[in-house]
Amino acid sequence: MSGREIASGGAGRRRRRRWENRAGWWGILRWSAGATAVAVLMVTGAAGLLHGSAAAFSALLGGGVVLVLSALTGATTALAWDHARDLALPLAMGALVAKLALYAMLLAAVPPPSWAEVLPTAAGALAAVGVWQVAEVLVFARTRRSVYGP
- Give the range of the structural domain holding residue 30, as residue numbers without chain letter: 21-143
> 48 in a domain, yes or no?
yes
Specify the pLDDT at position 74: 93
Specify the pLDDT at position 5: 47
> 60 in a domain, yes or no?
yes
Specify the pLDDT at position 24: 87
> 72 in a domain, yes or no?
yes
Q: Which residues contact 40 (CB under 8 A, 6 or more apart)?
A: 59, 60, 63, 64, 67, 124, 127, 128
Determine contact, residues 59/119, Cβ cutoff 8 Å: no
> 70 in a domain, yes or no?
yes
Residue 30 amino acid letter: R
Q: Provide the domain count of the chain.
A: 1
Specify the pLDDT at position 58: 97
Ranges of the chain with pLDDT below 70: 1-18, 144-150
> 13 in a domain, yes or no?
no
